[in-house]
Amino acid sequence: MHHFNFKKIFFLFTFIFSISLYAEYEIEINFESGFEFKRQQLLIETLRKKNSKRKIEKVLISEDWIKNYSIIQKPFQKKIFIRIKNREPILVLNDEFFYDKDLFRFKYDKSKNDIIFVSAPQDLAEDALKIIARCEDSVKIKTIKYSHVTGWDIKTDKFLIKFGKHLTEKKFQNFEDTVNYLFEIGKNPSIIDIRYKDGAAIKYGK
């Protein structure tokens, strides 16, 4: 689950809509992962207009941000209970799509700004996830950009990291060793360049 600045709670939305001239159904939606996307509010508005369990399920299937869901309609009661678990985005690629840890792509709805923005060809999304997985424990990543000329540039809250075009285990290890060394000596560089075979080049100042 995502961590938020406010206390994490389950969000329970209840609304009633008419499905015939004589009956009303009450729907309770439990967003298990919290309320994160603008499309969740749109989903609520859409479900208001549906008048059967089958139509409700059709809507849920069409929502790519939903990882899984369950629908329970109790016999002889005018209640439908919906449990929804959101997909959890790791990055936004080219301001178009969210990607989760499984490389599942779903539409970016402009609802999250506290996320890593990546500018790169779509076929390099897996490499961007690899960078995040290997670097996020050491630094706070803001943006990741790929250039066909210079390769991967990672902007953090403190400095710029240059990985070059090819990501290797040796480069990641050099990065980790360099960050640990800088932490020990209390230095804050402006650029860490990992494109060198035998280590890293460190630049201070602007």
7: which residues sit within 8 A by CB, 6+ positions away? none
Contact (CB, 8 A) for 150 and 176? no
Pick the CATH number of 89-203 from 3.40.250.10, 1.10.1040.50, 3.30.70.660, 3.40.50.11690: 3.40.50.11690
Q: How far apart are CA 147 and CA 151, in angstroms?
A: 5
Sheet holding 79-86, edge to edge: 11-18, 24-31, 79-86, 66-73
pTM of the model: 0.79
Mean pLDDT of 123-129: 97
Name the least confident of 12-26, 29-43, 45-59, 60-74. Answer: 12-26
pLDDT tens figures, 133-172: 999 988 999 999 999 999 999 999 999 999 999 999 999 9
Q: Does position 20 have pLDDT exceeding 60, yes or no?
A: no
Where do the structural domains in the chain lie, given as residue ranges? 11-86, 89-203
- Mean pLDDT score of the chain: 84
Token look-up 């980790």 returns 176
Give the tens place of pLDDT for each residue, 52-105.
788 889 999 999 999 999 998 877 777 888 889 999 999 999 999 999 999 999
Whole-number pLDDT of residue 33:
80
Check residues 44 and 124 and name the one with the higher pLDDT. Answer: 124
